Amino acid sequence: MSQGLMKRRSLMKQLGAAAFLGVPVFRSAFAEAQASAPLRLVVFHFPSGVSMQSLGADNAIDGSTWNYNGILAPLKELESDVLLFNKVTMPTADLVTTINELEGHGAGMRTMLTGNTNQSENSYGDATSIDQMLANAFGTRTQFGSLQLGVITNTNGTRFGRRICYNNGTFIEPVEDAQATFSRLFPNAMAPALPTGSMTADPQATALLLAEHAAGKSRLDQLRAEVTAIKSIAGADEQSKLDLHLTALRELENSLPKVDGGGGATYQGVSCQPPNVANAPGAKGVLPLEASADYMADLGPVMQDLLYQSINCDLTRIATFQWMSTGDNAIYPFLGIDQTHHTLEHGWGESAAMKGMYDKIQSYLLNQMANFIKRLKATPEGTGSMLDNTAVLICSEMWGNHGHEELIALVAGKAGGAIRTGRTLDGGGRPHSDLLLGLVNAMGLNVTTLGDPKFLTGPLNLA
């Protein structure tokens, strides 16, 4: 257990554990009110494409399709739930690559989920990623509008390495601290649960809870008023930064202790359980170049567990999960990889040994993501599974040759029927913004444009 978690625990003791007892984390009232199950979007990013042959064909650079024979083998058993994309291009990234100092890595990151082509090195214009478009429209339906999680994203390589999420030009970087994420998602899970009904049986605890809620609400009202006042005098460039701050305050308010109407301390749903993060590696700072990141093996599954339970408990319906950073500069000895990911992605064409290492780590990542998808599929919802009501986009900011000729992308899940899976969709060279637009439309957001309209021809029909 991290020191931080211990601190928070001891803090609770000081405050009086009763104030935190019996607070349910519940699926939101919105979810219950909806006739059908909620739609969800999960985006996985993994860095820098895949080696060409491992796409599944001998040489995918010209005309071949990617299939389940190569690196996608872990997804083979999910084939009927997966939509593969071929020949979806990424012209926005090629354009953004022209910026000084901003080579393909950073260009891919900033445009992958935004379609944005802002070419300023230090500004992202009005870039908004698809997850944030959905969060802006639907985020208030759940306790957390969206989540940004990651694993080994903070290597001291490029400054752009952890930036796939943007809201009106302000980027939101992933969190890879399992304990902090746990405390944030499940603030009430650290106290032992009371038996059902004990809340109402303990008026003193109820009163404490009400008092804590009221005090927290007062603080947040004041903070919100302050941020709002600052917004009225701050410059245009700072507005989205302050909007993000307001989102933070709203989500803090959602997390205040609440008195359930006699429900007690049970979590909604049979399988909704706060994950066990006790054995996850503690928070790390920025990894120096060439450091070993073997803790990925322990951290990754726990972070994915947190992701799964945040969806499963309906704490959020929109999440991004970043596996490593573009230009990742760590090594992974636990996989037998003693050269940095960045070195391998540049050099896989040079020798079988390097390609072997590169494929091995990319396969490992895809296998992890497949595990998450399988879990969604194994979670019953309505007459089907949670995966049926979810779209899991897996994509990479670069193609396997370090360029952007195509977007490496697939979607798992049917998004409530809006996506027809079990096939490969030939994009015919259409820009990836079309795919993004098709996806947000499938998620129920009725917009007709996205990113730079010069690189948009219309929504890709996923149905």
Partner 1 sequence: MRISRRAWIKCGLGSSCQLPLMLSLLGVGVGCSASAGGGRAGHSGGSSLTPTSMPGGPSAAPGGLSSTPAGAGTLGSPSTVPTGPVVIPVGAVVGPTMLRRLTNLEYRNTVQSLLGSTDAPTEELLSDSLTDGFDNFSASLTVPPAAGTAYAALSATEALKSLSVPACAAPMTETECAQSFIVSFGKRAFRRPLTPEEVAAYTALYADQRTRADHAAGLRQVVQTMLQSPYLLYRFELGNAASGPQRALTPYEVATELAFLLTASTPDDALIAAADGNLLTTPVELEQQARRLLSLPSARVAIQRFVQSFADIQGLDLLTKDAAVYPAYTPQLRSAMQLETGRFIESVLWEGDGAYSSLLTAPFSFMNADLAPFYGLPDPGRGAELVKTTLNPTERQGILTQASLLAAHSKPGESSPVKRGKFIRVGLLCQTLPSPPPNVPKIQPPQPNLTTRERFAQHSSDPACSGCHSLIDPLGFGLENYDGIGQFRATESGKPVDASGAITGTLDIDGKFTGGIELASKLATSLEAKQCLSLKAYRWAFGRTEIDGERPIVNSMTEPLAPAGLDIRELMIAIAKSNNILFRTFH
Phi (first) and psi of residue 62, to 5 degrees: -120, 100
Nearer to partner 1, 201 or 211 (CB): 211
Cβ proximity to partner 1, 5 vs 42, nearer residue: 5
Position 97 contacts partner 1 (CB under 8 A)? yes
Cβ-proximal residues to 203 (8 Å cutoff; 6+ apart), any chain: none
CA distance 156 to 228: 35
Reference 362, options 51, 120, 42; nearest CA is: 51
Query: Which of 8, 87, 258, 374 touches partner 1 by CB under 8 A?
Result: 8
Least Å distance between CB 416 and partner 1? 26
Quick check: 378 and 406 in contact, CB under 8 A? no
Residue 434 or 452 having the CB closest to partner 1:
452
Q: Does 172 bind partner 1 (CB under 8 A)?
A: yes
Which of 131, 44, 116, 110 minimizes the C-alpha distance to 440?
131
**Tokens 């909620």 sit on residue:** 38
According to CB under 8 A, which one of 4, 269, 301, 356 is a site residue for partner 1? 4
Q: Binding residue for partner 1 (CB under 8 A) from 114, 117, 154, 396?
A: 154
In 315-431, alpha helices (H): 341-347, 352-377
- Choosing from 1, 225, 447, 463, the residue that interacts with partner 1 (CB under 8 A) is 225
Applying CB under 8 A, among 63, 285, 352, 383 the residue interacting with partner 1 is: 285
For the bound state, the minimum distance from the C-beta of residue 446 to partner 1, rounded and expressed in Å, comes to: 26
Indicate the length of the chain as a whole number: 463
Which of 205, 196, 206 minimizes the C-alpha distance to 265? 196
Q: Residue from 32, 77, 350, 426 that binds partner 1 (CB under 8 A)?
A: 350
Q: Which is nearer to partner 1, 263 or 349 (CB)?
A: 349
What is the amino acid identity at position 240? S
**245 vs 341, beta carbon nearer partner 1:** 245
**CA separation for the pair 22, 196 (Å, rounded):** 8
Nearer to partner 1, 155 or 421 (CB): 155
Q: Is 454 in the site for partner 1 (CB under 8 A)?
A: no
Give the footprint of partner 1 on residues 24-63 (CB under 8 A). none
Q: Does 76 bind partner 1 (CB under 8 A)?
A: no
**Min dist. Cβ of residue 255 to partner 1 (A):** 7
Select from 19-27, 39-47, 188-196, 236-244 the region that touches partner 1 (CB under 8 A): 236-244
Contact flag: residue 292 with partner 1 (CB under 8 A): yes
Q: Residue 356, interface with partner 1 (CB under 8 A)?
A: no
Q: Scan residues 303-322 and list those touching partner 1 (CB under 8 A).
A: none
Residue 286 sits in the site that holds partner 1 (CB under 8 A): yes
Q: Does 278 help bind partner 1 (rule: CB under 8 A)?
A: no
Q: What is the DSSP string of 14-42?
A: HH-GGGGTT------HHHHHSSSPPPEEE
Q: Rule CB under 8 A: say whether 233 interacts with partner 1.
A: yes
Distance CA 91, CA 78 (A): 30
Pick the stretch among 34-42, 172-180, 362-370, 385-393 that binds partner 1 (CB under 8 A).
172-180
Question: Quick check: helix, strand or coil at residue 392?
Answer: strand
Contact pick of 81, 131, 251, 406 for partner 1 (by CB under 8 A): 251
Helix, strand, coil shares of the chain as percentages rounded to 5?
A: 45, 15, 45
Give 248's contacts (C-beta < 8 A, 6+ positions apart): none
Which residue lies nearer to partner 1 by CB, 240 or 379? 240
Pick between residue 95 and residue 193 the one whose CB is nearest to partner 1: 95
Q: Which stretch binds partner 1 (CB under 8 A): 142-150, 366-374, 407-415, 447-455?
A: 142-150
Name every residue whose Cβ is closer than 8 Å to that of residue 10 and which is 6 or more positions away in sequence: none
Measured distance CA(132)–CA(300) in Å, rounded: 23
Distance CA 65, CA 58 (A): 10
Which 381-420 residues touch partner 1, going by CB under 8 A? 401-403
